[in-house]
Amino acid sequence: MTPAHRNEYALLQQVQVRQQARRIAAQQFARQLAPGFSLLEYLRRNEMAISEYLALLLDPADSHGQGPLFLHRFLQVLSVEHPDASWTLGSQRCRIQREKSIDGGRMDIHLELDRGCICIENKPWATDQIGQLQNYARHLESAALGRPWMLVYLCGAGPSSRSIDEKSLRAMEDRGRFIWLKWPGIVAWLEDCALHIQAPTVRLFVDALVQFIRQKIIREPSMENSQEIVDAMTATQANIASSIRIAQAMPHMKRALLRKIHEQMQMMAGAPGALAAHWDEDWQTSEEWIGFEFDLGLRDLRLRYETSDLTEAGTFYWGIYTNGELTKRDTLMWPEIQRLMKLHYPNGQEDWIHWPWWQYLEHDLDYDGQEQESQQMQPWISIADPSGAHAFASTAMRRAAEVKERLYASAIVSMRCHGAAE
């Protein structure tokens, strides 16, 4: 072992000791502080639910009883983001619609104000679909009848070129018709409003929503936890160098764990009734959007496992995936797939581009009851166990067979995929 490797090992040991001490302290004060408890963990927490929570708060006439507090301060946020949004300020009338139907889609939240209208497109996890924002902009322009309008894009990442072309987007931004609002801005808005909430129950709800956004959407680590790790990493020049080398090795470590799964699947492939996993051609070289999938025998429907980024935690998910036109989003089959999956996997998400249903692996029922920090590192830490790779591979192959059977039993899915291979 080289001196550099010894220092890296010592640094990892030091971080582990500090983390263990923090966990022990948290357990001792759990009765008083309950640091791992989150109210929204036990309520609906998918994209549609987040939209409903935001719409509830923005509606001055809704049951929160705080009048225009949330609405007026949200409009102030927009006016700070772009000076041409000042037309929204001082609105006394607001009519809010959830899931407003338009040609070719549905708007998450639609606000009809005194002098114009606003569409809020909520994307806590998913990305926008082909032509989606372009379609919303056309509808707003037509429906506004010469009045001001605005499209607010609520997402951690910017809009994709497949949703709206760059020229149109720039023109909308210049005129104050498009505002990209990131989730930290929503947190700041909610925390500002919380200072003025008079009803304790509403304050409790807003605090829980802020906590959920920080943990599950922005995916912030706890400040205390991060600071302990940073202190250890920056204690010496050698520790800084070791930290950089460890970070550079992260993709290689995760790929080594994926190889364990691949090896187990190869060994189990010959079992009676087992579905074969098809791994991406570049899974051993790429660092983004890699995984494996099972052909469900229903045209281009697949059960797919994928990690979007080998350098980050919490980016491993699985679900029903389609990469072709035969099973593109429709009003019958996608809801049916979502219904069937939710019966057995209640923690999943709905309606991401190419994904009728999907779920982060950290939210898998297999990891329920673990500390939040450990859950966010799944399934990687479990795969490292002596039998972890075998258990992961077995679960994936079993799920593929079960999901295939359930989809085949659905009259709607069978009708839409008529002619699929038996």
Do 192 and 258 fall into the same domain?
no
Q: Which two tokens stand for residue 111?
A: 């606000």
Number of domains in the chain: 2
**Residue 206 falls inside a structural domain:** yes
Which of 217, 237, 271 is the last residue before a domain boundary? 217
Q: Which two tokens stand for residue 100?
A: 């407003």
Do 84 and 202 fall into the same domain?
yes
**Residue 391 falls inside a structural domain:** yes
Which of 193, 217, 241 is the last residue before a domain boundary? 217
Task: Say whether 351 sits in a helix, a strand or coil.
Answer: strand
Domain coverage including residue 296: 251-416
Task: Say whether 263 sits in a helix, a strand or coil.
Answer: helix
**Residue 54 falls inside a structural domain:** yes
* SS percent in the chain: helix, strand, coil, step 5: 50, 15, 35
Find all residues with CB under 8 Å of 252, minimum gap 6, and list them. Answer: none
Do 211 and 256 fall into the same domain?
no
User: What does the angle CA 337 – CA 340 – CA 341 come to, to the nearest 5 degrees?
Assistant: 85
**Residue 403 falls inside a structural domain:** yes
Q: What is the pTM of this model?
A: 0.66
Do 209 and 315 fall into the same domain?
no
Which of 217, 239, 272 is the last residue before a domain boundary? 217
Q: What is the pLDDT along the chain (422 residues), one digit of tens a residue?
A: 677 667 776 766 766 666 665 555 555 544 544 455 555 554 556 778 889 999 999 999 999 999 999 999 999 999 998 888 888 887 878 899 998 888 877 899 999 998 899 999 998 876 677 788 999 999 999 888 889 999 999 988 888 887 888 899 999 999 889 999 999 999 999 999 999 999 999 999 999 899 888 888 887 766 556 777 888 888 888 888 888 888 888 899 999 999 999 999 999 987 877 889 999 999 999 878 899 999 998 888 999 999 988 887 778 999 999 887 656 667 788 889 989 998 988 878 776 778 889 988 888 877 765 666 677 788 998 998 889 999 999 999 999 999 999 999 998 888 888 654 44
**Residue 46 falls inside a structural domain:** yes
Do 157 and 284 fall into the same domain?
no
Ordered DSSP codes for 183-247? HHHHHHHHHHHHTT---HHHHHHHHHHHHHIIIIIS-PPPHHHHHHHHHHHTSSHHHHHHHHHHH
Do 205 and 274 fall into the same domain?
no
Do 77 and 201 fall into the same domain?
yes
**Residue 1 falls inside a structural domain:** no
